[in-house]
């Protein structure tokens, strides 16, 4: 037989369960699929790195340093920082990595539209 305290303790849980049927119960995981395995995370990382290296001709055309930088950028894009300033910092780091690697693979004779090349062209006149 249930005592009055036990009945009183169960009532709010039952009411909550009826009001919010899709909520997880105590002791039940919030992620039924669980964490991805190391192999799954590595496959996801390499997939993202391949996407990022596609404009450069693929990961095969990069040297070891550039490949490591692209993989680091892919790792950062897969991370999920909680705070806003961490998100901005992550986006800025990824931007710098990709910009530097793309700059290394840009054609040499291509007159870019960055400020330095425009000023250099104006001074040469």
CA dist., res. 9 & res. 110, Å (int): 74
Q: Is residue 15 part of a domain?
A: no
Task: Look at residue 18 and tell me if it is in a domain.
Answer: no
Residues 20-65 have pLDDT tens digits of 666 666 677 777 778 889 999 999 999 999 999 998 888 998 999 9
- Whether residue 102 is contained in a domain is answered as yes
Residue range 65-81: mean pLDDT, rounded = 94
Residue 17 lies in a domain: no
Tokens of 66: 């550039």
Residue with tokens 């993202």: 48
Tell me: pLDDT of 125 over 80. Answer: no
Specify if 29 maps to a domain: no
Q: Is the pTM of this model over 0.75?
A: no
Q: Looking at residues 76-91, what average pLDDT do you find?
A: 94
Q: What is the pLDDT of residue 56?
A: 87
How high does pLDDT run on average in the chain?
80
Question: Could you tell me what percent of the chain has a pLDDT over 70?
Answer: 65
Please indicate, yes or no, if residue 70 is contained in any of the structural domains.
yes
pLDDT surpassing 80 at residue 97: yes
| H-assigned helices in 54-114 | 64-78, 84-104
Query: Residue 83 CB: number of other CB atoms within 10 A?
Result: 8
Number of domains in the chain: 1
Look up the domain containing 78 and give its range. Answer: 35-106
Q: By percentage, how much of the chain surpasses pLDDT 90?
A: 44
Instruction: Specify the pLDDT at position 96.
Output: 94
């Amino acid at each position: 037989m249930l005592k009055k305290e036990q009945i009183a303790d169960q009532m709010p849980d039952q009411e909550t369960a009826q009001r919010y049927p899709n909520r997880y119960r105590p002791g039940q995981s919030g992620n039924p699929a669980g964490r991805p395995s190391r192999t799954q995370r590595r496959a996801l990382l390499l997939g993202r790195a391949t996407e990022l290296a596609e404009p450069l001709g693929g990961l095969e055309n990069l040297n070891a340093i550039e490949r490591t930088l692209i993989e680091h950028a892919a790792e950062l894009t897969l991370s999920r920082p909680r705070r806003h300033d961490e998100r901005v910092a992550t986006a800025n780091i990824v931007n710098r990595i990709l910009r530097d690697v793309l700059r290394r693979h840009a054609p040499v004779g291509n007159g870019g539209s960055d400020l330095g090349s425009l000023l250099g062209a104006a001074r040469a006149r």
